[in-house]
Amino acid sequence: MKKFLIIPVLLFTISLHAQRRAPEQIPFKNELGVNAFEWDFLSDPKDPNDPFHIFEPKMRIIDAFGGVRHYLDWVKIEPKKGSFTFNPCFSGGWNLDAIYERCKRDGIEVLADIKQCPDWLLATYPADMRDGENVPMPYGANKSDPASYTEQAKAGFQFAARYGSNKHVDAALVTVDSKPRWTGDPPNQVKIGMGVISYIECDNERDKWWKGDKARQTAEEYAANLSAFYDGDKGRLGKNAGVKTADPNMKVVMGGIATANPEFVRAMIDWCRAHRGLRRDGSVDICFDVINYHYYASDSEPSAKNPATVGVAPELTQGAELVDRFVMLGRRYHLPVWITESGYDLNQGSPQRAIPIGNKSPLITQADWIIRSSFMFARHGIQRVFYYELYDDNAANPTQYASCGLADNKNKTNNRRPVSDYFYQAKQLLGDLTYRGTINHYPIVDVYRKGAKTVYALMIPDQKGATAMAKLNLGTASAATICDFNPGSNDMITKVVSAPNHILNLKVTEMPVFVVINN
């Protein structure tokens, strides 16, 4: 029989004056993002020849999330050098317009991550060096020279001109390949300023040391890459190069770094100071708008020599301390900090696995740990999180990250897993509320508020089935609604309870529970 840790009864006084206020007011739905691909939105599996339309059963899964990081291979929008396609993409036939317009309509923020070298660029490399994750420049180019990344900067311009907010881009600079692929094929059409994308990411994990010199960039080399992608190296690469050249309002997110080292970002900023100079206000002319890193909680630190052997509850790792270091750097330079990959595997052979705890399956532990990660990231000032990933790459594969799926498409059906049920339910309860402070640390009691609505999130930051009885002082309220996660449902389990003398007795576990004050 599982033995549970019993914590003495605690008394919390709910008072604004007792709370440590958060410096940013970030809607909680911003912490509920996911990584996904274009095929996760489009095409009925029973009709794989239709990649043009949103498939509603897939969209019902996507609607659980507050944001989507779209892995967009560069070849999809530029299958041949200088030949751009968006609807349909000549590589795969996908309709990107439909994805972005639907997400915009449904209030789901999209981060478009343009990554992977297209075939025509890889063709410049010797056959034995061709890898889609190579540094995005022609073979033999200088990795330290922004001009080496001109082609990627031109792709960023075309994407931003189409999907950004600027309706006044010079039409002479915007181009698509309008030739139909076959009879009856809808032609690509030029569109400008569709206003559906606000954020774009420049590649992914450019510090990928495990791929060798052909794929890895130093901080300074990646900063040179970003300078081209951001604004065509301050306009030096031409009128049709750079995201900001097309849409000054679009935010450029630096590619998430795998090493999770703030010093990498600091070195990028130092490169900007040396090569891009200062703005009129005296600030460094930084060529990215968002700091971004990846973090997977395990029994090993990021980039440690000893590899991970198992996933670990987020609060039991160095994750919060690492967030604080990144956020401190971000505040110094007035840059928000995002985490665009995090998560846990379900395959019990994976070194990144979520473990069974007591009578909880790995599926429930995955859900508990991920939603608590979101609360931890919000608590420490991360402004957006995207978990890896919507569906498993291969559930039977014990390789790390192969079974990280937050939803299930087994047998070509699309179903939420407990973690995406949690997300759906948390989005309904807390989506527009913002973190306002923490009034206790074990069990954790976080305060979320918007207007007159106040919700308290209580959880134990452990992984051994710990429980505690807590007493909440509700101030002047004499009743509250207790909300529990309910895997397999759209709705939480709710119960209205009275609070004699304004005191509420509540059991707290490692699965977060919520108290809504009924004023």
| Angle between the N-to-C axes of helices 219-235 and 150-163, in degrees from 0 to 180, rounded to the nearest 10 | 60
pLDDT by residue (tens digit) across 71-84? 999 999 999 999 99
Q: To which residue do tokens 């090993």 refer?
A: 300
Q: Write phi, then psi, for 273 (nearest 5 degrees).
A: -60, -40
Element housing 468 (H / E) = strand 467-473
% of the chain residues with pLDDT over 70:
94
Contacts of residue 138, Cβ cutoff 8 Å, sequence gap at least 6? 121, 124, 148, 151
Helix residue ranges, H only, 194-261:
219-235, 243-246
Report DSSP letters for 121-161, one per residue: HHTTS-GGG--TTS-SS-TT--TT-GGGGHHHHHHHHHHHH
Q: Is 159 helix (H, G, I), strand (E, B) or coil?
A: helix
Among the listed residues 88, 202, 207, the one whose alpha carbon sits nearest the alpha carbon of residue 153: 202
Q: To which residue do tokens 């692929």 refer?
A: 181
% of the chain residues with pLDDT over 90:
87
Contacts of residue 388, Cβ cutoff 8 Å, sequence gap at least 6? 35, 341, 342, 343, 401, 404
Q: What would the mean pLDDT of 296-305 be, rounded to a whole number?
A: 83
What is d(CA 229, CA 113) in angstroms, rounded to the nearest whole number? 12
Helix residue ranges, H only, 167-258:
219-235, 243-246
Q: Which residues of 308-328 are buried (b: 16+ CB within 10 A; e: fewer)?
A: bebbbbbbebebeebbebbbe
pLDDT by residue (tens digit) across 341-389? 999 999 999 999 999 999 999 999 999 999 999 999 999 999 999 999 9
Q: How confident is the model at residue 22 (pLDDT cuts 50, 70, 90)?
A: very low
pLDDT by residue (tens digit) across 459-478? 999 999 999 988 898 888 88
Q: Do residues 162 and 194 make contact, with C-beta atoms less than 8 angstroms apart?
A: yes
Strand 67-73 with 33-36, pairing = parallel
Report DSSP letters for 88-131, one per residue: T-TTT---HHHHHHHHHHTT-EEEEEEES--HHHHTTS-GGG--
Q: Write phi, then psi, for 13 (nearest 5 degrees).
A: -100, 115
pLDDT by residue (tens digit) across 140-174? 999 999 999 999 999 999 999 999 999 999 999 99
CB-facing half-sphere around the CA of 445: CA atoms within 13 A: 23
What is d(CA 202, CA 226) in angstroms, rounded to the nearest whole number? 7
- Output the CA torsion 178→37→340→413 (10° steps): 160
What pLDDT does residue 13 have?
46
Number of C-beta neighbours around residue 452 at 10 A: 7
Q: What would the mean pLDDT of 195-211 be, rounded to a whole number?
A: 96
Contacts of residue 209, Cβ cutoff 8 Å, sequence gap at least 6? 216, 259
What is d(CA 513, CA 473) in angstroms, rounded to the nearest whole number? 16
In the beta sheet, which residues pair with residue 71?
113
Whole-Å CA distances, 92 to 35, 50, 175, 452: 19, 10, 20, 49
pLDDT, the chain, mean = 93
Among the listed residues 72, 64, 227, 235, the one whose alpha carbon sits nearest the alpha carbon of residue 162: 72
Q: Do residues 84 and 158 make contact, with C-beta atoms less than 8 angstroms apart?
A: yes
